[in-house]
Structures are given as C-alpha cells and as structure tokens.
Amino acid sequence: MSREFNVVVRVLNTDLKGDNVVVEELTKIKGVGPTLARAMLHKLGIPINKRVGELSEDEVNALVDEIQNLASRYPAYLLNRRFDRETGEDRHLIGSDLDFTVSRDIDFEKSIGSWRGVRHRLGLKVRGQRTRTTGRKSKVPVGVKRKKR
C-alpha cells in the first residue's frame, strides 16, 4: 500500500514539515503547546510519533477542526485565555488573534497606569526578574574599547 507523502502540510497559515513528528510540528502553530498537541492527538487517535507527511487528508482536516474548536472540547486548564476580560468566558486564541490580544492587553495595562504597564512603557522587565546586572539594552555596546592600530 503506497500512500502519498507530503513534504509540506499547511495547517492554519503555518507550514509544517512532512519529515518531522506530528507532536513536535503542531507546536509550531502559535497558540498550540506540547501538552495541548499531545491531548489533541490522543483524542483524535493519531499516533504521537507519526510523521506529518504521512497524515491523510481526513486527519489533517480533523486536526484543523479540533484546533478551531478547542474551547468547547477541552478543559479550561488547557486553554490560553481563561476568563477573558471582555466576555468573561474561556477562549483559546491561535495565530495573529493571540498576538493582537496580547498587544491590546499590554496597551490596557499602560493606559490604566498599573505597575506592569509602567514597566512595559519604560522597556524594563515586567515579571520580577532581576535588573541589576541583566537586561541592559542600549545602542552602545558595554565593555572595554580597544585601541585601533
């Protein structure tokens, strides 16, 4: 039985390499992590170590459908947008929607003047990391200048 092997599979505006394992390639889709990828494959009955190029058209369509309807099919702890600020419901965002929502959240933090918003506005670390020695961003390189010969 010879099945067609796809070199590149397009899933939700992301190119997945056909030579790699499905569980690893699914994490290349923005918004899908390793735990969620394993849960989806387990639910669909697709082996985790199967190559992306070996997936049938039905399996690819099932994966796309599963990713688009994550919020209604999986528990809240697997979703990336629990208790959304505007709607109050659990959602899961993928791709550019995720980028847009995160940037809107950061803009909201800046506008209300919260501590996190102030740190974002100043370009400093936000999550409590140390800043005494690390995270120094400047246009001038730090270090010893050597004499030109």
Question: pLDDT tens across 41-51, in order?
Answer: 999 999 999 99
Contacts of 135 (CB under 8 A, 6+ apart): 124, 125, 129
What average pLDDT does this structure show over 33-54?
A: 93
Q: pTM for the complete prediction? A: 0.77
Give the tens place of pLDDT for each residue, 109-125.
Answer: 999 999 999 999 988 89
Question: Looking at the predicted structure, is the pLDDT value of residue 86 above 70?
Answer: yes
Question: Looking at the predicted structure, is the pLDDT value of residue 142 above 80?
Answer: no
What average pLDDT does this structure show over 35-46?
A: 94
| Whether 52 contacts 17, CB under 8 Å | yes
| Cα maximum dimension of the chain | 70
Residue 139 is encoded by which pair of tokens?
């246009």
Residue 68 is encoded by which pair of tokens?
């688009």
What average pLDDT does this structure show over 66-80?
A: 91
What's the CATH code, domain 8-77? 1.10.8.50
Residue 148 is encoded by which pair of tokens?
């030109």
